[in-house]
Chain A
């Protein structure tokens, strides 16, 4: 269901996407080569980021047909916050954010940044090595009454012995809550916790954020600028890309024929723009934040399909890949927390990840780079790290 606004127009119009209007469409540390931001009001809305059943679930929660608890699950930078903010707004809910202390890493893509911004948050609960009872604080916020939207729930656990206690405290509160509770989770943390802590039973109602298809990405990204770049054919473009395929529950990145590239090579496709965005969607797996970062890197006066980089696979060793998986699942972590999980090799692993541009390091804080998400997923799933 797509509810109508006062003027009768659907509230979730893909062209409007006004949930995040007015927020910074920043690009973090990525360099904008040229062009001006024209479509600052063209931010993705929940309708862009959720599929049909996801929208129906969210509508049902907003309308009170379902009281939850509801989990909003998405990859890093995919735009969980847009959906959570929408729900908080519609439910008139208390907005709680659980996140690590320390400086914002600034490596995000504005609206799709890791959920560290304080804007619109009623209560921010800090995690990290010096944090004092984040699970208890979160539980108190939930049981205090009224609808509650909690983002950053993947920061409520640490992957070590005894590291699940804050999560268990919070889930007990969620289970006992009388009012609607919406929780936001990193997709990879969710997968891990569903496997080892039965999280999907504690929070059975779930919506997935993304992915966006090539057309939606094209509309989203090009609406930002007055000057649209020229799209040129790239005859040397590889005919093969990699797509994620789930086989018997295992996600594999298998080589796949890039039909857009094939059509372009045959000269059947008159518009190389489609090739660029098909490739962007394939590489980013429809992750809006990742696609935005890759687009900013590729953008110039001319854009060719080959300007969109393929997924890099640096061939990390097991310890480094495990460290990367922990960062992928937390999006940002303190060195001390990483050391408690990864062990003695932490500093060397962080060094290797930083040299491969997979993470950024700011003091004691290690953050995932948006453009590194496809590589992080490919590398860690090749090693079958949970």
Chain B
């Protein structure tokens, strides 16, 4: 067998060896130093890019897209530096190690490998980037980090959710802003069937365009739609916010001011019906 064997009579610093693979304390220390340096370097680069992105306002997402790319590059380089000198293998040895690696991936590290490959696909295909607002499965929030294994979201309730990158292969991913700082926010208000619907539409439109968070231009128009429901009518206002982080603040601002204006203008909101429809 040309596999792992204890080395007797060799350099005392060498405690384990694979034929063609020599691991001694200095090699191990060097590898640890490289990995630690990569970790620190990745953190520094991520921090610097994050600070620069937050300062740059509307270009925030465009800068943050480089964070996972930089981390992948740094960790990839570190792995190469660690394993390169270790594995100077012949073709036969390479085959043997590959077999071992395949077995390891198949049995124990399958999820980790799927996560890493998913991360690479996320980097290359860009279904979302750091800073985007996405819905992955049941989770909706802002992407704050894309690491080797997983994507981290922060929900509107300030809960951090770690989603394995492999989820990208099995779940639908909805990206509400696709790398832009602006995002559409839909605000719904209900009015009574007998209410002055034209007045209600005017009020909702005014509430949208006068908000401090709104962003309007030819590519980001404002629209108000009316839908007739069973017991009420829904006035649905659609407008963009300049910064996707203002999504909830905008929606709340518009709702609050529109409801106040409904009351001032005598636009009735729906009452609870006397009898609810029978449910099956």
Asked whether any CB of chain B lies closer than 8 Å to the CB of A250, the reply is yes
Most buried by B among A160, A161, A384: A161
Chain B residues within an 8 Å CB radius of A159: 210
A196 to chain B, nearest CB (A): 4
Bound CA span A385–B241, Å: 10
Q: Which of A322, A382, A386 contacts B215 (CB 8 A)?
A: A386
Binds A, one of B116-124, B165-173, B189-197, B201-209: B201-209
A167 to chain B, nearest CB (A): 12
Most buried by A among B58, B209, B212: B212
Chain B residues within an 8 Å CB radius of A196: 209, 214, 216, 222
Asked whether any CB of chain A lies closer than 8 Å to the CB of B280, the reply is no
Asked whether any CB of chain A lies closer than 8 Å to the CB of B217, the reply is yes
Asked whether any CB of chain A lies closer than 8 Å to the CB of B243, the reply is yes
Chain B residues within an 8 Å CB radius of A339: none
Asked whether any CB of chain A lies closer than 8 Å to the CB of B261, the reply is yes
Q: Which of A164, A195, A318 contacts B212 (CB 8 A)?
A: A318
B181 to chain A, nearest CB (A): 8
Bound CA span A386–B241, Å: 10
Chain B residues within an 8 Å CB radius of A249: 217, 219
Question: If A383-B57, A384-B242 touch, does A163 touch B210 (CB 8 Å cutoff)?
Answer: yes
Question: If A161-B203, A161-B210, A322-B212 touch, does A386 touch B242 (CB 8 Å cutoff)?
Answer: yes
Asked whether any CB of chain B lies closer than 8 Å to the CB of A341, the reply is yes
Asked whether any CB of chain A lies closer than 8 Å to the CB of B258, the reply is yes
Asked whether any CB of chain B lies closer than 8 Å to the CB of A103, the reply is no
Q: Which of A164, A319, A342, A383 contacts B206 (CB 8 A)?
A: A164
A195 adjacent to B216 (CB under 8 Å): yes
Q: Which of A161, A250, A322, A385 contacts B257 (CB 8 A)?
A: A161
B51 to chain A, nearest CB (A): 14
Chain A residues within an 8 Å CB radius of B261: 161-162
- Fill in one digit per residue for B144-174: 1 if any A CB lies within 8 Å of its CB, else 0: 0000000000000000000000000000000
Chain A residues within an 8 Å CB radius of B216: 195-196, 386
A161 adjacent to B207 (CB under 8 Å): yes
Bound CA span A254–B216, Å: 22
Q: Which of B207, B209, B210, B215 contacts A384 (CB 8 A)?
A: B215
Interface residues of A in 233-289 (CB under 8 A from B): 249-250
B210 adjacent to A195 (CB under 8 Å): no
Interface residues of A in 149-184 (CB under 8 A from B): 159-164
Question: If A195-B216, A318-B212 touch, does A382 touch B57 (CB 8 Å cutoff)?
Answer: yes
Bound CA span A161–B242, Å: 20
Q: Which residue of B lies closest to A197 (CB)?
A: B209
A160 adjacent to B243 (CB under 8 Å): no
A155 to chain B, nearest CB (A): 16
Chain B residues within an 8 Å CB radius of A385: 212, 242
Chain A residues within an 8 Å CB radius of B214: 196, 386
Bound CA span A319–B214, Å: 13
B70 to chain A, nearest CB (A): 23
Bound CA span A249–B222, Å: 17
Q: Which residue of A lies closest to B221 (CB)?
A: A195
Chain A residues within an 8 Å CB radius of B222: 196
A341 adjacent to B217 (CB under 8 Å): no
Chain A residues within an 8 Å CB radius of B210: 159-161, 163, 341
B164 to chain A, nearest CB (A): 34
A229 to chain B, nearest CB (A): 38
- Fill in one digit per residue for B238-280: 1 if any A CB lies within 8 Å of its CB, else 0: 0000110000000000000110110000000000000000000
A250 adjacent to B58 (CB under 8 Å): yes
Bound CA span A322–B210, Å: 11
Bound CA span A122–B198, Å: 38
- What are 29 sample pairs from A and B whose C-beta atoms fall under 8 A apart? A159-B210, A160-B257, A161-B203, A161-B207, A161-B258, A161-B260, A161-B261, A162-B203, A162-B206, A163-B206, A163-B210, A195-B216, A196-B209, A196-B216, A197-B209, A249-B217, A249-B219, A318-B212, A319-B212, A322-B212, A341-B210, A383-B242, A384-B57, A384-B58, A384-B181, A384-B215, A384-B242, A386-B214, A386-B216
The 7 closest A-B pairs by CB, nearest first: A384-B242, A196-B209, A322-B212, A161-B206, A195-B216, A161-B261, A159-B210
Q: Which residues of B contact A (CB under 8 A)?
A: 57-58, 181, 203, 206-207, 209-210, 212, 214-217, 219, 222, 242-243, 257-258, 260-261
Beyond A383-B242, A386-B216, 11 additional contacts (C-beta under 8 Å) are: A161-B258, A163-B210, A195-B217, A196-B222, A197-B209, A249-B217, A250-B58, A322-B212, A342-B212, A384-B181, A384-B242
